[in-house]
Amino acid sequence: MHIPAIPFIHDAGLAAALERRINDKTKPQGSLGVLERLARQIGLIQRSEHPAVARPAIVVCAGDHGVTAEGVSAYPQSVTWQMVENFLAGGAAINVFAQQNGCALHIVDTGVNHDFGARAGLVDCKVAPGTRNFCEQPAMTQEQCERALQSGMQFAASLDCDVLGFGEMGIGNTTAAAAIMAAITGAPARDCVGAGTGLDETGIARKREVVERALQLHANAREPLAVLAAFGGFEIAFIAGAMLGGAQLRKVLLVDGFIVTSALLVAASLQPALLDYCVFSHCSDEAGHRRMLDHLKARPLMQLDLRLGEGTGSALALPLLRSATAFLERMATFSSASVSGKND
């Protein structure tokens, strides 16, 4: 399938102009730390000395996982569709945080095992009613995998936004994400598998054994798209596609927790330039996320012990992105405020 080229964000002239603007502000050089790094990055992505976070959007992608048949989650599969109803009714954490932060929210059914009918507010990109159990066969066919990626790309291209955040909902998807992580990074299953929604030690040991078994079964799946098809899920593939589609249109990509980052592992293996577009909102409490971020050489903005998903970390990071663009736009300069610059 055709994977779009991602424009390189580097531009020496613009980088120097942004640097000058940042250093002209009334503060010791470098003292706004990570906000300065963000201002530079958003400026380069938007090709502007005046970057802005004016129209953020978060896409929450829901999908079900056949591997739940192996007893890998603390919750039943039905919670996936029930939580989609909760998103549509406005009652989930992501509804609260998105509204609080002036962020558009899109809910996408990429492959939930439930018939929602035609529903206002629900984007229907259902590939199938859940993936297959990857302990027995590949989670998706190659055709299903490409369809999910393609609809993610198209959906991202249809959005009018400058910052594109990602969230997900899918019982069992930390098992899929852990298997993807192991297959792509080469880390052993024990470093990739965690408690997910809240497994106890016995549950985590079973989940680890499930991932180890699946890695053996799909040992031939080495290319990123083969890994994605082997372990799923539809929401992960859709997010990977939406990341590629968003970066192609120079949108800032806001990465959430363990599952969203597993989608990035796949997408960045296809197009490494994608990483320049990513802002890593937080380090999840899911064991394995820190290692995943380290593998990507990513520095998350926050560590709040979140392990919810839904894009909650992305929504909570928006004020920091806005502060980064606001200081650049609104702070006085040494000359405009008649403040003395550094000695010599």
Ligand X SMILES: Cc1cc2nc[nH]c2cc1C
Catalytic residues: 310
Number of residues in contact with ligand X under rule CB under 6 A: 8
Taking CB under 6 A as the criterion, which residues in 171-230 touch ligand X? 197
**Distance, CA of 132 to CA of 92 (rounded, Å):** 27
| Binding of residue 83 to ligand X (CB under 6 A) | yes
Strand 122-124 and strand 163-169: the pairing is: unpaired
Q: Is the peptide bond before 233 cis (omega within 30 degrees of 0)?
A: yes
| Binding of residue 113 to ligand X (CB under 6 A) | no
Q: Rounded to a whole number, what is the distance in angstroms from the first to the last CA of the chain?
A: 58
| Binding of residue 242 to ligand X (CB under 6 A) | no
Q: Which x/- pattern, by CB under 6 A, does the window 244-263 give for ligand NCN?
A: ------------xxxx----
Q: List all residues 6 or more positions away from 154 whose beta carbon is below 8 Å from its beta carbon.
A: 245
| Binding of residue 173 to ligand NCN (CB under 6 A) | yes
Cβ at position 84, least distance to ligand X in Å = 10
Cβ at position 61, least distance to ligand NCN in Å = 10
| Binding of residue 169 to ligand X (CB under 6 A) | yes
Among 70, 138, 310, 311, binds ligand X (CB under 6 A): 310
Among 63, 152, 165, 196, binds ligand NCN (CB under 6 A): 196
| Binding of residue 309 to ligand X (CB under 6 A) | yes
Q: Which x/- pattern, by CB under 6 A, does the window 297-336 give for ligand NCN?
A: ----------xxxx--------------------------
| Binding of residue 292 to ligand NCN (CB under 6 A) | no
**Distance, CA of 93 to CA of 97 (rounded, Å):** 6
Piece of the chain touching ligand X by CB under 6 A; list 16-24, 126-134, 287-295, 308-316: 308-316
How far are the Cα atoms of 147, 255, 311 from residue 164, in angstroms, in the given order?
Answer: 21, 9, 11
Cβ at position 169, least distance to ligand X in Å = 5
Report yes or no: 168 and 180 within 8 Å, Cβ to Cβ: no
| Binding of residue 308 to ligand X (CB under 6 A) | yes
| Binding of residue 286 to ligand NCN (CB under 6 A) | yes
Residue 256 binding partner per list ligand NCN, ligand X, none, with a CB distance cut-off of 5 to 8 Å that depends on partner kind? ligand NCN
| Binding of residue 133 to ligand NCN (CB under 6 A) | no
| Binding of residue 165 to ligand NCN (CB under 6 A) | no
| Binding of residue 138 to ligand NCN (CB under 6 A) | no
Residue 40 binding partner per list ligand X, ligand NCN, none, with a CB distance cut-off of 5 to 8 Å that depends on partner kind? none
Cβ at position 57, least distance to ligand X in Å = 19
Number of residues in contact with ligand NCN under rule CB under 6 A: 24
How far out from the chain centre does Cα 102 lie?
19
Interface ranges with ligand NCN (CB under 6 A): 73-75, 168-175, 196-197, 256-259, 284, 286, 289, 307-310
Q: Which residues bind ligand X (CB under 6 A)?
A: 75, 79, 83, 169, 197, 308-310
